[in-house]
Structure 1
Amino acid sequence: MESELSRSAVYFDGSCPLCRAEIEYYRGKDHASALCFIDVSQMGAVLPDGVTQRCAMERFHVRARNGQILSGAAAFVEVWARLPGWRWAERAAALPGAMTTLEFGYRLFLPVRPFISRLFGKIERLRARADRTKRG
């Protein structure tokens, strides 16, 4: 297991069903404990200097191993760099123009995230209800 200082801190919106699912996926892939996950929707969550709770909930942030605060596409690339099986994506992001394209795509996604999250939440609730019915 890596020391706390060598881990990348992933700041995520735990009130977002889509975000929670994505983070659970990353947790499952993080066999080396290279990532530390911080739910910014929780009261008292410790945020990096200069990042407000609102900002952290609106846009994905990561504190890289070197202490740099990354957001958007750059934050995702840091996560991919730390996960086995995803390092190919980090290498692809290093290609000329790739980061600009990834950030553009991320910015296009942000306005539709609330809709996708609500839809994902409804699907989550339907699955939970079906599971309760099966067990009951």
Structure 2
Amino acid sequence: MESDKSPTGIATVYYNSACPVCDAGIRDQRQRMQACNINWVDVHSQPDAVAEINGELEAVRERLHVRHANGDILVGEQALAALWSETKGRRWLAWLTLRMGFLTRPLYNCVAKYLYRWNRRRGHW
């Protein structure tokens, strides 16, 4: 694994590549954040890594998790906002997500739950 030192403060991103939609989003985000020293942990290929955040595998499969260098854990739309806030051209998405949480949180949770169930039915694990 790479160093946990990141100029963004984001040390590690935990995601699920078994979900084709999530995988595409993470591949794009990784490309945009190449200059950042961030650990990208795919819980599909490294399921034991969830222990690093005292998480449950199914929770991380369903929702994006970000661990900051100081140990703080962000989940779901907050995790996305953390990534976007450090991404040129996407900072406005972070701003909008953080200010419209009363809308973005339920929307993210609904989409995440739907994708999680869809992936389970399709056998993407």
TM-score of the aligned structures, taking structure 2 as reference length: 0.77
Measured in 1, the distance between the counterparts of 2:17 and 2:62 equals 12
Q: 1:33 to 1:55 in 2, by over 3 A?
A: same
- The reply on whether 1:31 has 2:38 as its aligned counterpart is no
- Please, what is the CA RMSD of the aligned residues? 2.6
Contact in 2 for aligned 1:9/1:36 (Cα 8 Å): yes
Query: 1:105 matched to which residue of 2?
Result: 107
What does residue range 1-136 of structure 1 map to in structure 2 within 5 Å?
Answer: 4-6=4-6, 7-43=10-46, 45-47=48-50, 48-95=52-99, 98-113=100-115, 114-115=117-118
TM-score of the aligned structures, taking structure 1 as reference length: 0.71
Contact in 1 for aligned 2:14/2:64 (Cα 8 Å): yes
Measured in 2, the distance between the counterparts of 1:51 and 1:109 equals 20
Measured in 1, the distance between the counterparts of 2:46 and 2:119 equals 25
Pairwise CA distance, 1:55:
1.8
Contact in 1 for aligned 2:43/2:61 (Cα 8 Å): yes
SS at match of 2:41: strand
Query: 1:127 matched to which residue of 2?
Result: none
Measured in 2, the distance between the counterparts of 1:79 and 1:72 equals 11
**Any gaps of 5 or more consecutive residues in structure 2?**
none
Letter in 2 for 1:108: C
Measured in 1, the distance between the counterparts of 2:37 and 2:120 equals 27
**Any gaps of 5 or more consecutive residues in structure 1?**
122-136
Pairwise CA distance, 1:20:
1.1
- Report runs of 4+ in structure 1 exceeding 6 Å deviation: 116-119
